[in-house]
Amino acid sequence: MSEPTPDPRLLAARFPARMRWSAATSSFQIEGARTGDGRGRSIWDTQVDVPGWVKDGSTAEPGPDSYHRFGDDIALLRELGVDRYRFSLSWVRIQPDGTGPAETRGLDYYDRLVDGLLDAGITPFPTLYHWDHPQWLEDAGGWLTRDMADRFADYTGIVAGRLGDRVQHWYTINEPVSMSLQGYGLGTLAPARQLLFGALATVHHQLLAHGRAVQALRAAGGAEIGIPNNHTLVRPLHPDDGAAVATYDLLHNRIFADPLLSGAYPDLEAFGLPPMPVRGDDMAVISEPLDFYGVNFYNPTTVTRATEPGPLPFEIVPTPGAPVTGFGPEWPIEPPALRELLIDFRERYGDGLPPSSSARTAPRSPSPTSRPECRTTTASPTSPVTSPPSPTPWTRASTSANTRCGRCWTTSSGPTASRSASGSSTSTSARPSAHPRHPSTGTARSSERHTHDVSPHDQGRSALVPAVHARVAGDLDGPAHAGATAAA
């Protein structure tokens, strides 16, 4: 006989009063209306139209239709009792080609969404970019080109100019690691390029775009600004797998976190990789002080040295003894690994960590003059909790010291295509007063809702093994390269 399900409200009452609960979505997965009100075409519009690329043929049209039914969504959020709502903005709905003037109808939609949330006592927490940049910019090279950082800064300025009088909390770029490794390196996410190490420039250009967005949001009065990334705890399969751990840790964690939190890239050349295409004050821009740092945590990753000769000595293998999710053997369910990862980040980056914290589980500049309060939230998975793992030796490359102030860090929720809100994030702010400038006009419907699984997060992680064994070629700061499309 199964145990009764605990009352979620009683469980929530057991958490500290400072805890804040949130739900999260991404624009392409929930909005629908792909051709409505002047919306442009994004890389995901292109990708879902490729026959066979999405497993069940879903196209996100109409999807959950949040563009027309956001009022229903707000009602659901209020019923859930969340304090915050993390949603992403569709770049092509606001700036159809990624250049030029804004599409006012798109901005009007987000105006109504923001004001509806505020009316409901829910803090809006937008993400500027969740993997869906304009196809027109991708045709010009996308994140392989430095120009994307300029385009993103312009876009951020438009958004901040319209919403900045009411929105104080911002995420910049969601999981740049996913866009670089899966979108450009392996081709398992849009724009489905398979450039292997030719994709490394996308790391730098995304982080540069993030830094410029931080500057624009600060200028508009943003109070809490940060970036969420996908990080993993890397473990060795055998005691002598230290080199394999260090290599994978570099590619999945340090190449993204080090420049943000310490102001410098790790020594890529020590791993046989070319340096990043850094110019002028790029690193100062990238390491603009943050109010929080997001860690989207899905699972630990176990690696071992490669069985075949290659420039990078690792293979990803199943985690011994751990249950797994439906994504397969490389998706172990091991909640204690999140704690280990956060402790590791604290030891690695120290005062480079921003002064706020939260946590989420699912499938490192000058010190600021003041600090917000420390925040913490954890949403646990429904899967069985495994016992804490026994200590294992592993190698971690050293990181240069830094001087940024901070006490802790944050994790944040990733995308969902579900109509039910899920995920978590945090806030120390009181609920905001309502802003009635644009009352909510969402239309309620009694019909059954539709859900489309548009982008399974990581269907091709095992492909990373042969990918990293390829030789580095090409100019990191050069033009775009053509890439093949892969089935998701």
Give the CATH number for residue 203: 3.20.20.80
User: Would residue 4 count as lying in a domain?
Assistant: no
Q: Which helix (H) or strand (E) is 77 found in, with range?
A: helix 66-80
- pLDDT tens, 406-464? 222 333 333 333 332 233 333 323 323 333 333 333 333 222 222 223 332 333 333 23
Share of the chain above pLDDT 70, in %: 72
Q: Which of 9-13, 40-44, 240-244, 273-277 has the lowest mean pLDDT?
A: 9-13
- pLDDT tens, 97-125? 999 999 999 999 999 999 999 999 999 99
User: Would residue 54 count as lying in a domain?
Assistant: yes
The runs of H, that is alpha helices, within 164-199 are: 176-177
* Beta strand extents in 289-412 (DSSP E only): 292-297, 301-304, 315-317, 355-358, 408-410
User: Would residue 419 count as lying in a domain?
Assistant: yes
DSSP string, 420-442: S--------SPPPPP-TTS---P
- pLDDT tens, 233-257? 999 999 999 999 999 999 999 999 9
8 A C-beta contact, residue 208 and residue 285: yes
Query: Taking Cα atoms as reference points, which of 117, 72, 86 lies closest to residue 427?
Result: 86
**1 pLDDT tier (thresholds 50, 70, 90):** low
User: Would residue 72 count as lying in a domain?
Assistant: yes
**What is the spatial distance between Cα 159 and Cα 84, in angstroms, rounded to a whole number?**
19
Q: What is the DSSP letter of 328?
A: -
DSSP string, 91-108: HHHHSTTSSSS--HHHHH
User: Would residue 279 count as lying in a domain?
Assistant: yes
User: Would residue 369 count as lying in a domain?
Assistant: yes
- For residues 362-380, give the mean pLDDT: 30
CA separation (Å) from 278 to 146, 270, 284, 364, 402?
10, 17, 11, 18, 19
SS3 139: helix
Whether the predicted pLDDT of 321 surpasses 80: yes
Domain count, the chain: 1
The whole-number pLDDT of residue 472 equals 27
User: Would residue 488 count as lying in a domain?
Assistant: no
User: Would residue 5 count as lying in a domain?
Assistant: no
Q: What is the pTM assigned to this prediction?
A: 0.74
User: Using alpha carbons only, what angle is made at residue 423 by residues 301 and 330, rounded to the nearest 5 degrees?
Assistant: 20
8 A C-beta contact, residue 32 and residue 90: no
**What is the spatial distance between Cα 329 and Cα 352, in angstroms, rounded to a whole number?**
34
Whether the predicted pLDDT of 362 surpasses 60: no
**372 pLDDT tier (thresholds 50, 70, 90):** very low
**312 pLDDT tier (thresholds 50, 70, 90):** low
CA 7 to chain centroid, in Å, comes to 30
- Domain, as residue range, for 449: 27-468
